[in-house]
Structures are given as structure tokens and as C-alpha cells.
Structure 1
Amino acid sequence: MEQQTKQICAMLLLGGMLAAFLPAAGQSEDPLSRYGIYAGSTHAHTIFTLSHGAQYDRKPGTKKILFVDSSTHVSTTINTTLKPGWEKYQGLPAMHYALAKDNGYDFYVTADHSQEAGFHPTSPLSAAWLATQEEADKATDSSFVALRGYEHSENDGPGGKGHINVINSATYINALEPGIDLAYFYRWLDTVSANGDGPVVATFNHPGARQYDDWSGREPGVTDVITMLEVINSNNHIHYAGFINALDRGWKVSPVCGNDNHGTEGIADNTSRTFVLAEKRTKSAILEAMKHRRTYASLEQNIRCAYTVNDEIMGSTLKPADTYQFDIEISDPDTGNPGDRITKVDIVKDGGQVVQTYTPAPGHSVRWKPVIRDAAAKYFFVRIWNAGGGDAPHADPKKPVAWLAPVWTGK
């Protein structure tokens, strides 16, 4: 009898413990509890970007030579004065991945220009393409994800201009080869196969306000591949106008930071980051987070941000509604640094219009749950300020420090 009583008590205790961790009847799991927040960069160039970079002497009067391949019409400008020990300045992909891991990145994307010499002829068997993937595979482990991409760049028209990073594709194309305009590229991107685990994703790089043929040519297929846009490029260059115009033209893109370092020194020096909300720190999970637009870009290298709207995670397309319940969580672990205190939060909608602003008593942790009623908005996103303006050079507390993924209303 005593033994039976003990078993019943144990079962009751276990049931109580489980109840504490499981949602109550009729309640859904907290969407934020599913995800970890991982930091990295979506844009970097290795030694395979031969035409320019940190390996060359930038002194005035340095000689440059223009090479033109008559069969492909590919032109490459080569600065012929290399620094002593030049290999260490630009670095093979393996060096980039190792330094990124040593400097606390959770993921790191290399994306060399596909018109560079190592990618000729255009083929999935080109030396640079194979070498970068081999080194990415070797560098990836439980604490770090190395990703190979390429930059579709120097596409000078006709049909629009603009650089785009393609991440995790099985092959690549060259924007300078005849007939490869943006329309061709968008069709190709809609059909290209992934390289192993995870989807193919892409990001608009350092966009001008009216770039990419003024954001035209969008089709549903490519909209689900180009899911990101560089709001931050090269650590502190902001491309907010391009972000707003892309959203207003129907592109469903979330903010990222591509440090765009053409050399290894930027890996440690650059402090801005792309953050992703991913279920695990694996290649497939990081890429799935990018595909589903669960990203944000920040000039502050370790700020933690996430939000839901109507119980749907940032990056989502919501069910039809006219009332939107936001739940915004922001924190910074550097509680000893007054410059990292959160000072303002905006909710922004179509055309960059600020819908509502919250100015908390500055602190390192903020929770805000506003309700917005709007029958016409097509998207909302969140901007954040802190007291110091971030870790990047020329930090300005009068400007935003982070931009979070939108949610789309389906209207």
C-alpha cells in the first residue's frame, strides 16, 4: 500500500511538472520559444574576388590594367601592386571561416563575384566554386555554420542594375555574359537547385532607392527566393530608402547586414550583424530562417530582438485582420554599458510611415505590447534606437540601431 501511494504521488508530481511546461488547453505555444537568435554576416569576399580588395596597395598612382575576355565580354580590373604577404590580407575562404568562428560569429557567408577569374568558365566544376564549398563544409560544426554563395554583380543592364547575393545554390551564372539581364537572372533564380541541405536564398545588396529597374520584374517564384535586403552594408552604410521602396513594390524582404569585407581585417573590426531566428544552429535551420524572413539587421553586435503579431512570428504573412496585437521583446546583455540601453521603439508601415512610437525609461530590457487598428496597411516592421547608436563607427543615438523583419498583412 505504501509503495502504491509513493507511485501515485510520483505520477502526480510528474504531471504537475509537465503542466508547467505545456500550454494550457486551448492555448498555443509561445512562438518566440521555438527559436534561438544567431548572429553573422551575409556578404564577404575572399581571395577569389581577384579584381579588388585588401591585398592590393591603394597608394595614389598605383597602376591598374583592364583585362577583357573576347569570348565572354568579361572585364576585370586588376591592381598590379600587391602588398608584401598579400595572401593574408584577402585570404582563402578557409581563413575567413576560421576568423569568423574565432570572433564569435554563428554563421558567415562568403560571396565572391562570379565574373572573377577563378570562376571561369562558368561551371559548377570551376576551381573557385569547388574550393569554397569544400572549405565551407570543413568549417561547419555544432558551433558555427559556413555558407557559400556568390555575388551576381556588375550587371549594368539593359533591364536594370544591382548586385544580388545568391546563397546555397548548386551552380551560378555570370552577370556579364551576353543575355544575362535581371529578367533572365530572376527566371534562373526561380529554378536553380540547392546545394545539399537547406533552400536557396538571396539578398539585394547595398540597394539604391530606385535600383533593380525600380524594383520591377517581380514574380511570385523569385519573391520567395529573394527574401532579404541589405539595410546595413560595410558595417555602417544604411540603405533604408531602398528597403522601403522594395517593400512598397511588393518585394517581401527582411533586413540583413552584409559587411561586404574585401579582406580578412573586417571580420574582427566590423561590429554590425545579421541576426536570424532559427530553430537550431545548423546549415538547414539558418537557411530556413532566411527563407522565412526571420531576420534583423543591427549596428549593435549583440542586441536581442524578436516580436510577434497576432501570435505569428516576425517575417510571417498574417491571417486577414484589421486589428494587430504586437508583442515586442528587446534586450541587450551588456547591462554595464549605459550606451546599450534601449531608448525608443517604432512600428512602421507602408511608405515608411511611423504608426506608433514607444519611449520607455531607458533600460537594457524592453517589452511592449501595443494594439494597432489598420484596415489598409500591407506591412509593418519595427525599428529600435539605443542610447549609444550602436558599436559601428560614427554611431549616432539620434538614428536607429536595428531594423526588424516585417510582417505582411496579405492585403
Structure 2
Amino acid sequence: MSQVLLEVGSLIQSAEKIVPGPAYVLIKDGIIVEVGEGRYGGVREGLTVYRRPAAVAMPGFVNAHGHAAMTLLRGIGDDLPLMTWLEEKMFPTEAKLTQEAIYWGTLLACWEMIQSGTTCFTDMYFMMHSAAQAVEESGMRGVLSWGMVGMDQTSRQNGVNNTKSFVRQWHKQASGRITTTLGPHAPYTCPADYLTLVADLSAELDVPIQIHLSETRVEVDNSFREHGKSPIAHSEACGLFTRPVLAAHCVHVSDEDIAILKAHDVRVAHNPQSNLKLGSGVAPIVAMKQAGLTVGLGTDGAASNNNLDMFEELRLAATLHKGIHLDATVIPAAEAFAMATAESARAVFLPEGHGTLTVGARADITLLDLRSPHFQPTHDLLSNVVYASGADDVTDVFVDGQPLLLNREPVTLDTERIRFEVRKIEEFLKR
């Protein structure tokens, strides 16, 4: 039995509950079994103890949408609209990627996310066996899918075959840290009958679905032209929402679309920075949350962001919508924090309690340095985290109670090797 005691200066259990500290977390076999204020009074024999009296412990961030290996494409095709960016820059460069490149690109993403306090992320890409291997080695938690498109018979069949193989090999592997979903790219790359097939395959394999929906105005206009309805209404008509679904972006949605999402408990991944950078727009998150939707936060891939820093998404989610609505009360700090932790966890189909530091939850924990200038003074700890702190304040990261980052040094990753391999891939892609 693995037993870990974490002693900290203060503790954010959830957006609703803060322990001003000092505080402790007791972990057995990766699960939080006790959380308390003050000093732990139990038997210490057999415990691995981490004393961090100048740190605040918080749930690790859950990145609800991304494409991990696109770290390799960071900076390629900046300042272009989405479809131009995809067709002229991304697709031609991605055609050069190999399994080895996917492996190293995913490890690079894991390094970046661990350093910035993320403990779990979603991924939709290709050659995903290599990505899963990287996630397993990193110690992170991953919700992974093999991207599916249905533009022709070959791509359709490859998508089905690759997905079946991937789900059967990797679902609930790495001591349960890896779970899988189906990953149809979007309605504009997956014809109606293919989306229906995906829903049936999801039921057969008993895993959820993640998909891009209503990301751009052009996508929505084309859907009305081709199907007479929005991408969301079209997906509903194809039977996709008979299964659990995580919908990324949902920027251009109507009240009717939001009602459809709510009726089927479709979860939404809000990607504010990527949507802004690609000129896609701003998702109506306030209306979604007022309707009762689960809304998590994601970075999207590093080719359209261009980093995987959830602190930036957290702060942007808490400020962007205030400006859009001319209302400083919308998306307050606690709501934004929940979107990056517990709400994101629900969005990506993690068990109840994940994204919190409560008894029974998996011990996915990030520590921030209370000695940082971002915490001087601390009138409101949660406010400091949301509006002031950043990735440079992260000191330690744990997943299932096991350290991935200690005193700002990665534990599970050979960062020099990652740098070396990524440089080689960069040189290859430039040829």
C-alpha cells in the first residue's frame, strides 16, 4: 500500500471550500482518505511525507480539449483564419509526422502541462498508440481518442479500425490513468451516416465521444446550406447525442442549440484563447452556464494557442466574458476555477469528485508557491490564484499521489532528451 502525507500552508479543496491552513492531505493508493486543518495527528510510520509549509495545494487543472503532439507545430501558420490554417499549413505539415514524432511531441506537451499545473488532459489526434505510451510514461492522466474522419471509404474504415484497436488496447490502462473516447473530428469531415456509425461504435465499445462543434461562422453557415440545420441540430439528428458527448468550442450557437445540448447533457469545452487567436469568436458561455450546461476549459493544441498553460485560459475565461457582457459579476473567480477543475473533470467523463481535493477523490494535486509576489498580499486566496498567479508559481505536481514535479523539477521526464528529439523533428519538418 502506498501512503503519502502532504503538509501545506493552505488548501483549496474546491471552488466552494478553502482551508486557510496550515493543512494536510492523506493519500492511500492514490486516493485522498483524509483532509484536515492543522497538523496531521495520526501515525506517520510508513508514510512518504512531503512538507510544503509555504505552498497552497489545489486540484490539478483538467485540460478539456487539445491535440497534444501539435506542440511540434507551434508557430506554424500563425495569424490565419481556421480553414486556411488547417488546409494550407496544418494538414501538409501533419502529413510528415511519424509515430516517433507523435511520441516526442506528446511528451513535450506533457512536460509543458506538468510544469504549469495540469494533471489531466484530453487528446484527439492520430498514431495514438505512440501518444498513449507517452502519457503512460509521463505519469499524467489522459482522456485519449484517435481522430476519425469519413471523407472517403478508406478514411472511414481506417478510423473505425484504428479506434477499435486503440480503445481495446488502452482503455483504463496505466493503472486507470488512461481512458479513451471516440474522436470524430467534426460534422464537416464526418458525413451524416458516419456520425451515426460513430454513435453505434461508441455504444459497442462503451466509451464516450468528443467532437468539434460550431467552431466558426462558416462551419455553421455551411451546415445550414447542406443540412438545413446547425451542426448541433444535425449531430442530434444523426443520433450522436444518444451517447455521452464532449463538444469542443461551440462558439456559434443559438438558444435552440443550447437547449439541445442541455437536453442531452452534452458537455462543452471552452477554448477562449484559441478561439480568439483563430478569429473564430467568443462562445456564449454565460448563456450556457445559465442553462445548466457543464462547461470545462481547454487550451486546444499548441499550434493555435500557442501554449498549453491553463492559468491563461482560467484568467481569460474569468475576464473575457465580463467585457463582452459589460458586467463585472459574470464568471466570478470561483466559477472560473471550477471550470478549470471540477467542471472540466465532469466534461471529460472523470468520476465524481475528480477536480477536487475531497475524500474519495483521486489525489491529482498542484502546489503553488505562497512566497511568490502573486500571493502578496492575500486578501482572497482564490482570487489570487485566478487573477494573479501563473505557471511560474507551480512548485510540485502529483497524480494519484505520485510526484511528477518536485521543487519545480520534473520527476518522470527526461527533459534534455525531449529537447534533443524535438530539435531533430523540427529540422525534418523544415525540409
TM-score by length of 1: 0.42
Question: Larger relative contact order (C-alpha < 8 A, sep ≥ 6)?
Answer: 2
| Structure (1/2) with the larger strand percentage | 1
Larger radius of gyration: 1
| Structure (1/2) with the larger helix percentage | 2
